[in-house]
Copies of this chain bind each other. A is one copy, B any other.
């Protein structure tokens, strides 16, 4: 029954983001301009992104100061609680200690505003008036709507049509924060019009929504910029606030993790919790295991190929050195919409390549079971994405029980699931199935990469 929460005093809130690249034994290979195949420059990136974000993307500085204005907004929900999951421990009857960082306490319900707020801030500071972005499940679109509004920016979100229809609550959140949310494909862009002409009933796709959002930004180089919610270095940089807080809170709990766990889509919540702990490995000689958890239906880290690929379907992003299933890979329609992404960010991919982190894939029926157990023992209904981290933490705790030894586990609860309860209904009703792609299917999409570079 006991649950211990560790509350960071406000004067101890971290004031800088941590850039792991400064401490990596080998930095990732550079991004490449998709046209010239030369390393991407700040000015290449600044066409799409605010210039300061472009600079952060390529920065090798160890710490980057969090602007005062961003810190003030972080304080709406930060510091996020660190909780000892005593109820879950008891249910598992394990000698392991399980801690989780609860990022679901933000007004959006997930970790996404950690990066949406600084992205909106730097854009506003530069004089940008409008932000465009895409969203699949809706978490990132909500976060940018929330953040853009606080800085007086117009926000346009291109939401994949099938999600737009299925998830009215996410759309309503964006409207409430004053954003425009369009069902993609729209008639506002050439790519949208082409897609609708080809198939008037198309459900849309994330790749197409990205194309639309980018196209809108490129149309108005004076006043509009595009924003991304994961994958890129500057996004993961902003998310390190999570791990920096967790380090201080674990000290308050007088504990140090043996293993740190996060679920992975593009890598934003995983990088956020993991990078500050990896600093301990690289700089203090610690041996903390760090585990990225992906869905079995989208196994980029465990079964993908490590090579250059583009971040979107249309090739607007730089070529990124990543573990990828190929940018045409179509994951099955699992409920963890935020994990249905074909590649992992460059830093995470490099870390995995060098054995500095581990990766594991878990089927969604197991993760949803873990989610229900967590909801019933810790009281918080986790997002379908976060159930992957919980399932991996449970595997670790049960292993500790078999081995009869102590172990301290920390995982990132990236968000709550109260706007994604349909997944629980499907699970509790016994309607969920697992889908694992065949080797041929993965090989086919990876082959396309050979055509890129």
Contacts and interface: CB of A to CB of B under 8 A. Distances in A.
Contacts of A6: 10
Interface stretch (A20-28, A46-54, A271-279, A414-422): A414-422
A107 B3 contact: no
Given A72-B1, A150-B1, A380-B107, A175 B424 contact: yes
A286 interface: no
Given A7-B8, A424-B176, A73 B150 contact: no
A364 to B, nearest CB: 16
Interface in A65-80: 69, 72-73, 75-77, 79
A204 to B, nearest CB: 22
A452 interface: no
B177 A375 contact: yes
Contacts of A87: 150
A439 to B, nearest CB: 36
Given A172-B424, A379-B150, A109 B418 contact: yes
A76 B380 contact: yes
A72 B3 contact: yes
A371 to B, nearest CB: 8
A150 B3 CA distance: 11
Given A9-B7, A169-B421, A418-B169, A76 B379 contact: yes
A342 B81 CA distance: 38
A172 B421 contact: yes
A141 to B, nearest CB: 14
A197 interface: no
A308 interface: no
Given A176-B424, A419-B418, A1 B107 contact: no
A175 B379 contact: no
Contacts of A105: 105
Interface in A168-225: 168-169, 172-173, 175-178
A176 B372 contact: yes
Contacts of A177: 375-376, 379, 381
A5 B8 CA distance: 12
Nearest to A68: B2
A92 interface: no
Query: Interface size for chain A: under 10, 10 to 19, 20 to 34, or 35 or more residues?
Result: 35 or more
A419 to B, nearest CB: 6
Nearest to A7: B10
A17 interface: no
A159 interface: no
Interface in A95-112: 105, 107, 109
A169 to B, nearest CB: 5
Nearest to A416: B107
A173 B421 contact: yes
Nearest to A421: B172
A424 B372 CA distance: 30
Contacts of A1: 69, 72-73, 150-151
A405 interface: no
A4 interface: yes
Interface string A358-383: 00000000000000100111111100
A231 interface: no
Contact of A378 (B76, B79, B86): B76
Given A1-B150, A7-B9, A107-B416, A428 B378 contact: no
A75 B5 contact: yes
Interface of A: 1-10, 69, 72-73, 75-77, 79, 81, 83, 86-87, 105, 107, 109, 146, 149-151, 168-169, 172-173, 175-178, 372, 375-381, 416, 418-419, 421-422, 424-425, 428
6 residue pairs, one from A and one from B, having the closest CB atoms: A172-B421, A5-B75, A107-B380, A107-B379, A176-B424, A2-B72
13 contacts: A1-B73, A3-B73, A5-B76, A76-B379, A76-B380, A149-B379, A150-B376, A168-B421, A169-B421, A172-B422, A175-B428, A176-B381, A177-B381
